[in-house]
Amino acid sequence: MTLRKKARNKFVKHLGKQFRDDKTLLQVYSRDMAELPSTTKLLIRNIPDGIILPRNIKDIQQAYKVANETKVPLIPRSAGTSGFGGSIPYKKGVILDGKGLESDIIVEPFDQSVLVSPSMVFSELQRYLKMQGVSLCVFPSSYYSATLGGFIAHGGYGVGSAQYGGAIDQILAIEVVLPNVELVNYTEREDIELIVGSNGTLGLITKVQLKIKFDIPLKHRGCTFDSPKELEDGLKVLASINPYSIWILNPKHVAEMNDAFGFTLPNRYVVLISKEVSFEEEESDFHASFNQAIRDGGGQILDKRYTDKIWDIRYKTFTMIKDYQDFLVSELILPIEKSGKYLQKLASEFNGQLHFEGEVINNSHFSLLLFLYFDEKLTPLKKTIINLKLYKTVMKGKKVGGFPYSTGLWFSGYYSKIFGKEQYKRYKELKKKVDPKNISNPGKVISPRVRIFPLITFKFALKIASWLIR
Amino acid sequence: MSWQVDVLEFAQKCVYCGYCSVCPTYKELKWENYHPRGIIDQIKLYFTEGTKDDLQKDVSKSLFEAIFACTMCKACENICIVDLPLLKIWEQVRQEAFKRGRWNPQLLSLYNKAKDTHNIYGLPAEERLSWAGMVGMNLARRTLKKAPLAYFVGCQASYSGKMIDIPASVVTILRKSKVPFTVLGNEEWCCGSPIFLAGGYSVGKTFAKHNLEQLKKLGVKRIVTACSGCYRAFKVVYPRILGEKWDIEVLHITELTKELLENKKLKIKNKISEKITFKDPCELVRHCGLSEPLRDVIEKIPNVRFEELPSNRDDALCCGGGGLLKLNNAELVKEVNDRLMTEIEFTEADIVTNGCPTCLDTIQYGAKQRGLEIEVIDVSELIKRLVEDKK
Ligand SMILES: Cc1cc2nc3c(=O)[nH]c(=O)nc-3n(C[C@H](O)[C@H](O)[C@H](O)COP(=O)(O)OP(=O)(O)OC[C@H]3O[C@@H](n4cnc5c(N)ncnc54)[C@H](O)[C@@H]3O)c2cc1C
Ligand code: SF4
Ligand code: SF4
């Protein structure tokens, strides 16, 4: 079903050339990083009815006004690099492409902040900031493509999170056009935290003020562990030395890396620890605390000649996919405590073919990005089945206190697991108040009803389907 | 890798990471059908059998429009996380557009002119060396003479009045160094670069064959050029289409200068007191991996004031002029160029130099638009100023 004529006319009238619905463009906007197998088409109507590329706040307000009048869903989207289905339609609607927004970058070196458009890609903003001798604090490993808006809206973490926290911890102020067309500028954490991780369900982010820091060089050390249990023990100690980043690779991932980049890393769990170091004493302190941590936590020190090389590929690990015909990914957050048990199980799942990389996001947790590579192009059915198995694997993480990384569509219904019950309550109150018709990104965060079985939610359907799969 | 690639097979290997959003024209146009990743998606639709007719019609329109909005700057291919040969894919889609009669009239006109006259301006071959007369040089003793080195002037430097300083400078440098060289004169045919960029493989190949034949006749072992387009054609495209027959060493004027300075055949005689910056031409740096020789030369200038552009070497911004974009969307050229001009302005340089006539032209235009008091010169002009005798 395409847009009703009346609705389409309204969009055209109010947005002019910033509204388009040529067939090809609709196809181009119908996916995110996780390609939908054709088997899901029955459930998910992911081809949008139109695309809006707003240039300014007025365009966004017009879009929401028309959407409210015509009850057409609006789906905020930026670079489309997230794989949680947040930026694709669930039941058609019009994509609101935030990359049309442009604004000046205002750096306040004394306040250590930058005011910027959410359409900015991390690498570009960072290039600009580096010219001024300052730097962002945290970067997703999709550094070269992800936008600030998408990162915040999906509630991301990244390189640097061990020291500086997640998306929420970077924001000093955030401007949003709410679905009721009101323009708000939130500066209090309790308001900001509702926007972070809201996946566009509370409107389109239009400006952000982010914390910045001086551009301090990093020093790296590496170590290896023989087993998930040793890794767990080691991570506990390493997280306590307050590093900038801790990057974890499982043996299978290490083997792939050796192949792809010509490394000769040992076939164990490899951990790279990076620390901001401004002067010599700091560097020797880092080495001393790292060495002590290894003594306390166990593990073997990795030859220094490897560490810079590993750091250089921080934003390039997807390169390893190039020798394969197909791949699947999923992600979750795990508590360091008890992670050994879960990781031990992972080692035997999927015939030992699962590989992963993790990023410590605070003293107690790390994110885990799971990969499966295939030598053949998967048929839609096979892809669906393996995807469901992967989903089930992620869900097993709950047993040790883990939870999905973000909601989007695929993990809709898990907001309270990620952010807690109290925040979920406040989120729902705000959603009801500003978007009573559920115009902004329906089907995301709160699990939607399944179109062909409206009695059950998408979350429930996925759960059942994944448990039916052996 | 051969000329033709299986575009669909490669398109299916895209992992949708979006890194290719560095694309300078996508950054301006912003709709995802211009995103290299979006072009890949359209390629999948276009080349997959079974795409519905009405969609297929729309796809071809949208795909060909997007493919000609590309400057062929290669930023996408260089950053592609799974190393897709994107430029080859783009060239092939342009060929497909040709086959389907979907080139725009200006592009077709350039193609026909080049096909008939062997230069992109459609001017007589006899006028190839007119520039020499205009700057008071007599190249009769050098034209089509046996020599180990040939200076390949290129269409823009040969015919465009705006570029006249380029060949004049190169010849001054060569004469100063006393290396024997020849020029092909009337027998110099377009290197084929614009034709290849347009997707015209077979015509381009006849140009390549002709130029090789002429060079062989004169016993040429090395060829020097000051045009990044010609350089790319000789360095990347000719080996692909002529195979081992193309055994001529290719040098950019910056490479040759570096060598001549090292062999003491050239000497830096003059200082340059103005602050200099350098724009790496896409076709040199990303297509051919050439970025250091000019910097090495600049380093040798006593007390030089040189500042890199914020985006330099592999990260250099596109000037907007590549890929024949001017013929397809002149407005877009200006928009792309504007970002580069901001960086140039940021350096507060007095001279911006580069190694490509197309960059020269677009930067000159951009500087004029902004009212910048900056001199825009080709590297050959800069080198000439360093080595020439003071009048
Ligand atoms: C190679 C690679 C590495 C990655 N590494 C990381 C990583 O380290 N950490 C991490 O967190 N993620 C990572 N990701 C996932 C993804 O890149 C990030 O989540 C990214 O921040 C999403 O940004 P985007 O601009 O692509 O947003 P999109 O994918 O377009 O959107 C993400 C969500 O945000 C919403 N949204 C987008 N823009 C706005 C806006 N302006 N206002 C309101 N809502 C909006 C969308 O509706 C959607 O729900 C990685 C992905 C890839 C491909
Ligand atoms: S070659 Fe340059 S202009 Fe063309 S698609 Fe790639 S990045 Fe864009
Ligand atoms: S960089 Fe390469 S793999 Fe990534 S989206 Fe672009 S074409 Fe696809």
DSSP per-residue letters across B101-169: T-S-HHHHHHHHHHHHHSSTT---GGGGGHHHHHTT---TTTBT---SEEEE--HHHHH-GGGTHHHHH
As a whole number of angstroms, the distance between CA A373 and CA A390 comes to 12
Tell me which residue of A256, A275, A276, A283 sits closest to A267, measured CA to CA: A256
CB contact under 8 A, B12 and A377: yes
Looking at residue B1, its pLDDT comes to 47
| Ligand 3 shell residues, CB under 6 Å | B 14-20, 36-37, 40, 79-82, 84
Residue whose token pair is 């705000």: A430
The answer for A 2-21 residues in CB contact with B (under 8 A) is 20
Q: Is A322 on the interface with B (CB under 8 A)?
A: yes
Residue B20 Cα to ligand 3 middle (Å)? 6
As a whole number of angstroms, the distance between CA A401 and CA A418 comes to 11
First to last CA, chain A: 36
AA identity, residue A291? N
CB contact under 8 A, A23 and B55: yes
Q: Whose CA is nearest to atom 3 of ligand 3?
A: B14
Residue B61 Cα to ligand 3 middle (Å)? 22
CA B386 vs CA A107, B258, B276: distances in Å: 40, 12, 13
pLDDT class of A262 with cuts at 50, 70, 90:
very high
The residue-averaged pLDDT of A74-94 equals 97
Query: Chain B interface, mutation test: which of A46, A105, A130, A145, most B Cβ atoms within 10 Å?
Result: A145
Residues of A in contact with B65 (CB under 8 A): none
Q: Exposed, middle or buried by CB within 10 Å (0-12, 13-18, 19+), for B21?
A: buried
Widest CA span in chain B: 71
- Using a 6 Å cutoff on CB, does residue B71 contact ligand 2? yes
The residue-averaged pLDDT of B257-269 equals 97
Q: Is the pLDDT of residue B2 over 70?
A: no
Residues of B in contact with A100 (CB under 8 A): 30
Q: Is the pLDDT of residue B244 over 80?
A: yes
Q: What is the pLDDT of residues B270-324, one digit of tens each?
A: 999 999 999 999 999 999 999 999 999 999 999 999 999 999 999 999 999 999 9
As a whole number of angstroms, the distance between CA B215 and CA B151 comes to 10
Q: Whose CA is nearest to atom 4 of ligand 2?
A: B70
Which of B62, B82, B311 lies at the smallest CB-CB distance from A322?
Answer: B82
Q: Is the pLDDT of residue A380 over 80?
A: yes
As a whole number of angstroms, the distance between CA B51 and CA B60 comes to 11
AA identity, residue A462? L
Residues of A in contact with B17 (CB under 8 A): 33, 81, 142, 144-145, 318
Residue B68 Cα to ligand 2 middle (Å)? 10
Tell me which residue of B23, B55, B56 sits closest to B325, measured CA to CA: B23
Residue A416 Cα to ligand 1 middle (Å)? 20
Q: Is the pLDDT of residue B71 over 90?
A: yes
Closest Cα of chain A to B380: distance in Å?
Answer: 30
Residue whose token pair is 């000093």: A172
- Using a 6 Å cutoff on CB, does residue A141 contact ligand 1? yes
Residue A88 Cα to ligand 3 middle (Å)? 19
AA identity, residue B153? V
Structure token pair of residue A228 = 């998930």
pLDDT class of A9 with cuts at 50, 70, 90:
very high
Q: Is the pLDDT of residue A1 over 60?
A: no
The residue-averaged pLDDT of A20-48 equals 93
Q: Is the pLDDT of residue A387 over 80?
A: yes
Query: Chain A interface, mutation test: which of B20, B76, B81, most A Cβ atoms within 10 Å?
Result: B81
Q: What is the pLDDT of residues A91-144, one digit of tens each?
A: 999 999 999 998 789 999 889 999 999 999 999 999 999 989 999 999 999 999
Q: What's the alpha-carbon Rg for chain A, to the nearest Å?
A: 22
Residue whose token pair is 């200082």: B271
Looking at residue B197, its pLDDT comes to 84
Closest Cα of chain B to A7: distance in Å?
Answer: 22
What pTM does this model have? Answer: 0.97
How many H helices and E strands in chain A?
17, 18
Residue whose token pair is 């076939």: A267
- Using a 6 Å cutoff on CB, does residue B73 contact ligand 2? yes
Tell me which residue of A443, A461, A467, A463 sits closest to A200, measured CA to CA: A443
Which contiguous run of DSSP H or E holds residue A181? Answer: none
Looking at residue B198, its pLDDT comes to 83
Residues of B in contact with A28 (CB under 8 A): 32-33, 35, 38, 41-42
In this structure, are residues A380 and A255 in contact, taking their beta carbons and an 8 Å threshold? no
Q: Is the pLDDT of residue A79 over 80?
A: yes
Q: Is the pLDDT of residue A40 over 80?
A: yes
Looking at residue B391, its pLDDT comes to 64
Share of chain B above pLDDT 90, in %: 94
How many H helices and E strands in chain B?
21, 8
CA-A317 nearest atom, ligand 1: 1
Q: Is the pLDDT of residue A406 over 70?
A: yes
Q: What is the pLDDT of residues B17-35, one digit of tens each?
A: 999 999 999 999 999 999 9
In DSSP notation, B72-88 reads ---HHHHH-TT---HHH
ipTM beyond cut 0.95: yes
As a whole number of angstroms, the distance between CA B298 and CA B277 comes to 10
Residue A92 Cα to ligand 3 middle (Å)? 26
